[in-house]
Amino acid sequence: MSDWGWPGLIAHRCGGALAPENTLAGLGIAARLGCVAVEFDAMLSADGVPLLIHDETLDRTAGVPGCVAAMPAAALLATDVGGVFHPAFRGETIPRLIDALARCRALGLAANLEIKPATGVEIETGRVVGELLASMAPTQRPVVLLSSFSADALRIAAGCVPDISRAFLVEAFDDTAIDTALALGCQSLNLSRQGLSAAHVAAVKKAGLRCLVYTVNQPDEARRLAAWGVDGVFSDRPDLLLPVSACQNPA
Ligand code: G3P
Ligand code: MG
């Protein structure tokens, strides 16, 4: 099993709130800040190309209508997702997953690749992402942590790359989440900060799993979670949390 390294801070959606989400520009900013790990979301275009986007539609990030799963990759890759964030980022487009992985490798960033399937294509998305990772030489790809809210997507992807660390994502803790994570061979259960308690974290750790928490933007909260035993947090404000993560990272 390759080792994700379990950094204490992971820049959410590439560069957090400091760049348009899920873009190569975000990766550059995360690296410049001194982050060692990023998270991003991968979805398939209509013609089966994995690319970085969180929502099933373009409205929020591009300011135009469009359904990702119904659009060809060529149109999506030409879609500006920078201008809505800030005019300074105009021209920043949706990247292919393979290009984001290569950029992470070049920048020395570990990559938490969240498989974010559009509804109904969970297995296909897991298969395509897994096959892409399997096709890349170890010297081409960064250190990767695979994750998904979809157990089906994660199971299929893991079958392609069983040696890559993986994490199951849930919005709210319950005992079945631990069971599912263990059944999937995950090393981590990744949980939302909302409704999370110290007892939940203790239960995850007792099961022998790591625990990562999203999305944490306040240093005080990051310190409290670290005291509970949380192994790392996803943040939109890596600039604020880097000093905290330096404290919670193993030497
Ligand atoms: O993987 C942590 C986090 O990214 C999960 O939530 O909706 O931002 O993908 P979301
Ligand atoms: Mg995500």
Domain at 59, CATH number: 3.20.20.190
66 inside domain: yes
pTM of the model: 0.97
What is the structure's pLDDT at 239? Answer: 96
**Full domain range(s) for residue 26:** 9-244
Question: CA–CA separation, 234 vs 67, rounded Å?
Answer: 27
What is the structure's pLDDT at 250? Answer: 46
The residue whose C-alpha atom lies closest to atom 7 belonging to ligand 1 is 54
Question: CA–CA separation, 181 vs 154, rounded Å?
Answer: 10
Q: How many CA atoms lie within 13 A of 176 on its CB side?
A: 4
39 inside domain: yes
User: Which ligand 1 atom sits closest to the C-alpha of 149?
Assistant: 5
Among the bound ligands, the one closest to the CA of 214: 1
Could you tell me if residue 210 is left (phi over 0), alpha (psi between -120 and 50 degrees) or otherwise beta? Answer: beta
Tell me how far CA of residue 12 lies from CA of 21, 178, 181, 193, 238, in angstroms: 8, 23, 21, 14, 8
Active site residue 200: no
3 inside domain: no
89 inside domain: yes
What is the structure's pLDDT at 73? Answer: 98
251 inside domain: no
Number of separate domains in the chain: 1
1 inside domain: no
What is the structure's pLDDT at 243? Answer: 80
250 inside domain: no
Mutate which of 9, 234, 236 for ligand 1 pocket (most atoms within 8 A of beta carbon)? 234
Indicate whether residue 39 lines ligand 1 (CB < 6 A).
yes
Chain centroid offset of residue 250 CA: 21
What is the structure's pLDDT at 152? Answer: 98
26 inside domain: yes
Active site residue 86: no
Mean pLDDT by 10 residues, the chain (251 residues): 90 97 98 97 98 98 98 98 98 98 98 98 98 94 98 98 97 94 98 97 98 98 97 97 67 38
